[in-house]
Amino acid sequence: MLELAILGLLQESPMHGYELRKELTAKLGAIRAAISYGSLYPTLRRLQAAGWITEAAETPATAEEVPALTSRRGRVVYKITAEGKERFAQLIAQAGPETYDDTGFGVHFAFFARTDQATRLRILEGRRRKIEERREGLRDVLGRAAERLDAYTLELQRHGLDACEREVRWLEELIANERSGRAPTVPETGTAGGRREDNSPPPPGESRKERP
């Protein structure tokens, strides 16, 4: 997952590690806390070894000009290679099971702007299926095993169930949007005031033209 995220970000512009982490945090802040250096740097090394990214020299002058005054350990700027772009395209298009867990889905979604519509639809539907399964599991527990669990545990399940239902609805809207061919126009998540006094978009009725 980290690999995909790094490749995606470096496609926008070359960066050094620290910067990468900040961009990563900004882009993925909704789904994970903050990427650790303990995974970032080893991954960068791995990507470099695989030839998907390269170091780009940052200091303009050569090392001979500014000698031993300060053995300045320069920032290491990475840029993506042609092979790296291929790798990214491959990773972003193929959807394995890990594509639908919380982190995997989040990363894929964050790069939907670089993903073709068919793949977007496939991923959204896969994610929906997965969340629906989790939802059913929670309903089962709340229905059948409720008496075996204490009030706090039940409350946790209830909250989780609520989050599942909410996410399914969110996904439904996104899927409908994709099918209608429109870009993601703030589907009224509930808060975060994106208004849009848009004059009636095409009615959501029977528009079954797209075939995935």
Partner DNA sequence: CGTGCGATGTATCGGTCCGATACATCGCGG
Partner DNA sequence: CCGCGATGTATCGGACCGATACATCGCACG
Q: Which residues of this protein are in contact with a second copy, per CB under 8 A?
A: 25-27, 29-31, 33, 101, 106, 109-113, 134, 137-138, 141-143, 145-146, 149-163, 165-167, 170, 174, 183-187, 189-192, 194-196, 198, 201
Size of the site for DNA (CB under 7 A): 34
Residue in 173, 1, 172, 175 with CA at minimum distance from that of residue 92: 1
List the alpha helices (DSSP H) in the chain.
2-10, 17-28, 37-49, 82-93, 102-110, 117-144, 151-179
**Beta-carbon count within 10 A of 85 CB:** 14
Using CB atoms within 10 Å of the CB of residue 90, give its burial: 0 to 12 exposed, 13 to 18 middle, 19+ buried.
Answer: exposed
Q: How far is the CB of 134 from DNA (least distance, A)?
A: 13
Rounded to 5 degrees, what are φ and ψ at 77?
A: -95, 130
How far is Cα 15 from Cα 126, in angstroms, rounded to an integer?
33
Q: How far is the CB of 104 from a second copy (least distance, A)?
A: 12
Q: Does position 160 bind DNA by CB under 7 A?
A: no
Residue in 18, 15, 45 with CA at minimum distance from that of residue 34: 18
Using CB atoms within 10 Å of the CB of residue 88, give its burial: 0 to 12 exposed, 13 to 18 middle, 19+ buried.
Answer: buried
Which stretch, 42-50, 126-134, 161-169, 193-201, contacts DNA (CB under 7 A)? 42-50
Q: Does position 3 bind DNA by CB under 7 A?
A: yes
Q: Does position 169 bind DNA by CB under 7 A?
A: no
Among 33, 49, 61, 82, binds DNA (CB under 7 A): 33
Residue 178, contacted partner among DNA, a second copy, none, CB below 5-8 A by kind: none
> Please, which residue, 79 or 165, has the CB nearer to a second copy?
165
Residue in 206, 207, 204, 184 with CA at minimum distance from that of residue 196: 184
Contacting DNA within 50-109 (CB under 7 A): 68-77, 96-98, 101
Q: How far is the CB of 3 from DNA (least distance, A)?
A: 6
Q: Does position 29 bind DNA by CB under 7 A?
A: no
How far is Cα 61 from Cα 59, in angstroms, rounded to an integer?
6
Interacting residues with DNA (CB under 7 A): 1-3, 16-19, 32-33, 35-39, 41-46, 68-77, 96-98, 101
